[in-house]
Amino acid sequence: MCFTHSFWQLTISGLSDGMLYALIALGYTLVYGVLQLINFAHSEVFMSGGFGGLFVVQALVGSKTPHGASSVMLVLLGVIVGALVGGSIAFILERVAYRPLRRRNAPKLAFLISAIGASLFLVNIAGKQFGRLAIPMPDLYTNGNVFSVFGADVQTNFVVIAIAAAIMLVFLDRLVAQTRLGQGIRAVAQDADTASLMGVNIDRVISQTFVVGGLLGGAAGFLFGLVFNVQYNMGFTPGIKAFTAAVLGGIGNIRGAVLGGLVLGVVENLGVSCVQSAWRDVIAFGILVLVLLFRPTGILGERLGRSA
């Protein structure tokens, strides 16, 4: 087969892409679960995390490339700040662009248009503030080969992304399964009216859901920017891909979002070794159509409530 030659290498880069997709996809899926809304502006939450992390590391990194403990601290700080910025933007987004529409029971498409408007606004205001060129992050560590798996080199970048993503996914899983907030999210996702009758503060749960999604998306933005540079419009394509991944795994389903992200990343990378790279997005959307044809609600199906 065409991809057997560098199968493991491609799988590793596919998993790396996939984990970033998964982190972003979770934002889409969480919001969809509680609001049945495609939060088109989530791609800008992702972008804002990238810039937030950029500011911090630019301020702290000197001229020499750090290593060892200071590398770890810097990455940690970048992820945290990226997450916080993402969460804040998501919070503001919910308050400004969606809550007023919820108050008036506006039709779903109005939410979508508001989301598109918010996305256009945020992209262009970021372009205005930060310029339109891509901005590289200072090196936080020296990227080299850490170890080999089946002949494929695993690099520091991958290890960083993998560890950060794994920690965040475990954190999310715990949050949804074991905390009050998680219960609230699951309750609202399952049946918002009944949940409010049972005393759940819908507004607060929705706001917190946005924030959680924003934390993950913002952190993903920092990690993405670390490897691929930060730019005002960096969110558009990863946003579409991540949304595709969320639907692929089953929109509204947390484990589905993660699975969808990983599957999409790996399939894309393996796929382009077989055909011209220009067909990559066709492969991605093609997989989506095929899966939906046979499993109309995604690989793991829907329902945040049932998954956790």
Bridge partners for 153 per DSSP? 148
Q: Which residues of 130-153 are buried (b: 16+ CB within 10 A; e: fewer)?
A: beeeebebbbbbebeeeeeeeebe
**Four-residue CA torsion sign, 44, 130, 77, 21:** positive
3-class DSSP string for 102-144: HHCCCCHHHHHHHHHHHHHHHHHHHHHHHCCCCECCCCCCCCC
Nearest approach in angstroms of CB 163 to other proteins is 18
Nearest approach in angstroms of CB 171 to other proteins is 25
Nearest approach in angstroms of CB 76 to other proteins is 22
Nearest approach in angstroms of CB 82 to other proteins is 15
Whole-angstrom CA distances from 115 to 82, 97, 197, 248, 264 are: 21, 7, 29, 21, 24
Q: Which of 235, 232, 50, 236 is nearest to 131 (CA)?
A: 232
Of 2 and 170, the one with the shorter C-beta distance to other proteins is 2
Nearest approach in angstroms of CB 228 to other proteins is 4
Kindly state the tokens that stand for 48: 């804002």
Of 176 and 284, the one with the shorter C-beta distance to other proteins is 284
Nearest approach in angstroms of CB 271 to other proteins is 9
Of 181 and 288, the one with the shorter C-beta distance to other proteins is 288
Of 17 and 79, the one with the shorter C-beta distance to other proteins is 17
- The rounded radius of gyration (Å) of the Cα atoms in the chain is 19
Of 5 and 69, the one with the shorter C-beta distance to other proteins is 5
Q: Which of 155, 162, 218, 159 is nearest to 18 (CA)?
A: 162
Of 107 and 170, the one with the shorter C-beta distance to other proteins is 107
**Four-residue CA torsion sign, 200, 203, 204, 210:** positive
Of 16 and 88, the one with the shorter C-beta distance to other proteins is 16
Nearest approach in angstroms of CB 10 to other proteins is 6
